[in-house]
Amino acid sequence: MKENSIRRAVREGRAALGTGLKEFASRGVPWIIEAAGFDYCAIDHEHGAFDMETIANLASWFQATNVSPIVRLHKSFAHLIPGILDQGIMGIQVSEVETAEEARAIARLAKYPPIGNRGISGQGPHTGYKSYGRRHATEYAPWANENIILFPSIESLEGLENVEAIAAVEGIDMIAYGHSDLSAQLGVHLDLEHPKFKAAIKRIAAACNAHGKLARGSAETEAQIEEYWQLGFKVLNLPGNDVSTYLDGMKARAARAHARLKSIGVPTP
């Protein structure tokens, strides 16, 4: 059983850096993400097309690295949480949580007693195919409750209004926000420097800090990385995902080639 890499980074005084997968799910991807220097990776079930078998494969491949995989899903698919965790996933992000009641409901699904009511299953990827038997409650469950990070994502005005109550819920380990949806709800879509948006993320960070929970910020610029860390966001999701990273890299390479060809008189697009 490995310590969650988000927990490890924070314990060591570092920022836990994250990226995301929306399109690619080959066995080499976890190794590439580790080599790039990330601590965790969010597998996007909400906007991607990953099914349970793909998630299970990714979870197993991530086990060979020091990068902890988490799965992002919408609250309407919360019933999938226990099965996803049984594949060895190390964290669950639930989008559009708006009330403390919704937060308690997902905690019941994701956490073992006495915090929640997650069903017990042994000899699976999550336990390394070990059967803990009667020791489950004293050995595996406490480790899982601590190391599997459950966090709602604040994406609406109602969620923002209730963020203090959500942060107070037992079993919630961290709070994130959807910068695109939340800024749109605030009427300043993707204007991440707008005072309304800045006030919102400060409120989220303050709620987490007040209740001893981790806060995850989506830092789109280098300046925001520093700013959000100072606000108390110890977990930082960096811009983009596998699609944008691949596309940006390919565009840069093609642009260099076109520039060189143009310099010798070759027509370019």
pLDDT score recorded for residue 122 = 85
What is the C-alpha separation between 184 and 177, in angstroms, rounded?
Answer: 12
pLDDT of residue 1: 81
* Residue 37 covered by a domain: yes
| Alpha-carbon span 85 to 103, nearest angstrom | 17
Q: Residue 20 — left, alpha, or beta (φ > 0 → left; ψ -120 to 50 → alpha)?
A: beta
Per-residue pLDDT of 25-79, as tens digits, reads 999 999 999 999 999 999 999 999 999 999 999 999 999 999 999 999 999 999 9
* pLDDT for residue 217: 98
Residue 26 belongs to some domain of the structure? yes
* 21: in domain: yes
pTM of this structure:
0.95
Residue 155 lies in a domain: yes
Residue 259 lies in a domain: no
Q: Is position 159 within any domain?
A: yes
The verdict on residue 252 lying in a domain is no
Cα angle value 64/86/138 (rounded, 5°): 95
Report DSSP letters for 212-230, one per residue.
Answer: T-EEEEE--SHHHHHHHHH
Angstrom distance (rounded) from CA 109 to CA 183: 29
The model's pLDDT over 114-159, given as tens digits with 9 standing for 90+, comes to 999 999 998 999 999 999 999 999 999 999 999 999 999 999 999 9
Encode pLDDT of 175-213 as tens digits: 999 999 999 999 999 999 999 999 999 999 999 999 999
Question: Average pLDDT, stretch 91-95?
Answer: 98
Angle at CA of residue 69, ends 68 and 75, nearest 5°: 130
User: How many domains does the chain fold into?
Assistant: 1
pLDDT of residue 63: 96
Whole-angstrom distance between the N-terminal and C-terminal Cα of the chain? Answer: 53
Report yes or no on 158 lying in a domain.
yes
Give the CATH number, domain containing residue 108. 3.20.20.60
Separation of alpha carbons 25 and 248, rounded Å: 19
What's the rounded Cα separation, in Å, for the pair 255 and 25? 27
Q: Report d(CA 83, CA 53) in Å as an integer.
A: 11
Instruction: Specify the pLDDT at position 57.
Output: 98
- Structural domain of 103: 5-238
Omega within 30 of 0 (cis) for the link into 114: yes
